[in-house]
Homo-oligomer: A and B are copies of this chain.
Amino acid sequence: MSVDAQISRLKPGRRTDIRRENERAILEAAEKVFAEAGFGGATMQLIADMAGLPKANLHYYFATKEDLYRRVVQQIFEIWLDAASSFDNAPGPVEGIGAYIDAKMDISRTHPHGSKVWASEVMHGAPVIQDYLETTLRDWTEGRIAVIQRWINEGKMQPINPRHLLYMLWATTQHYADFGHQIQTLNDGKPLTDKQWREAKASVKDMVLRGIGAI
C-alpha cells in the first residue's frame, strides 16, 4: 500500500468526502428518475433537482447522461450478483433456491427502482450492458444450471428444465418490483405491509419448491 493510500485511509479528507457524497446523491436520484421515466424520458435537470445540485454540477461528476445511466445499471447488476451467492454451498434445492428467492424478494422490496431500470434496459435490447449478459450473466447461469442438474441427479428434486426454472425465479421475484404499482393498485392502492411481504415470499417459495418436487 502506498503512503498516499495510507494517509488517505486515515484521513478521509473533505475533498474525497465531497466527491463520494455528491456521486452518491446523484446516483440515488438518477436511479429513481430513470426508473420512473425511462432513459429517454429522464432529464438531467430533473435528476439534478432531485439530488439538490445544479445541472452543470452533474456534468462535472458524470460527463454524459449515458455515463450516469451506465453506472446505475451496473450498480444493480452487482447487487443481484451478490444475492446469487445464496445459491452456493447449499445442500439442496430447499435451502439454495429458498434462500435465493428470499434474497431476490428482499431486493425487489429494497431496490425497486434499480430493478425497473434493469428491466427497462433489457427490454430495450440491452444497449448498454449487452457484454455483461454475454459474459458474467451467461457464466453465472451455466454454473447454476449445473448445480440444479446435480440436485436432480441426486434425486433431490424433479427432473425439470433448470433453465426455465431460473427464468421463473427471475420473473416471479422481480415482478414484485417491476409491477409493484399494479400490485399496489390491486391491494386497494396501498403498498404491501410487512405481513403481506412475508406472505408473498412464503407463497412464492411454497409454489416454486413444490413445483420442482423439492417438498
Chain A contacts to B: CB under 8 angstroms: 35-42, 116, 119-120, 122-126, 130, 133-134, 137-138, 141, 158, 160-161, 163-165, 167-168, 170-172, 174-176, 178-179, 181-183, 185-186, 189, 199-200, 203-204, 206-213
Q: Which residue of chain B lies nearest to A187 when distances are taken between CB atoms in the complex?
A: B163
Residues of B contacting A160 with CB < 8 Å?
A: 203, 206-207
Q: How many copies does the complex hold?
A: 2
Is the Cβ of A181 less than 8 Å from the Cβ of B40? no
CB distance from A123 to the nearest CB of B (A): 5
Residues of B contacting A120 with CB < 8 Å?
A: 38, 120, 123
Is the Cβ of B161 less than 8 Å from the Cβ of A167? no
Residues of B contacting A182 with CB < 8 Å?
A: 122, 126, 133, 137
Residues of B contacting A178 with CB < 8 Å?
A: 119, 122-123
Give complex CA distance A143, B56 in Å.
Answer: 53
What are 8 sample pairs from A and B whose C-beta atoms fall under 8 A apart? A120-B123, A122-B178, A123-B179, A123-B181, A126-B181, A138-B186, A170-B179, A171-B175
Is the Cβ of B171 less than 8 Å from the Cβ of A179? yes
Residues of B contacting A122 with CB < 8 Å?
A: 178-179, 181-182
| Residue among B38, B130, B163, B171 making CB contact with A185, cutoff 8 Å | B130
CB distance from A167 to the nearest CB of B (A): 6
CB distance from A135 to the nearest CB of B (A): 10
Give complex CA distance A53, B40 in Å.
Answer: 23
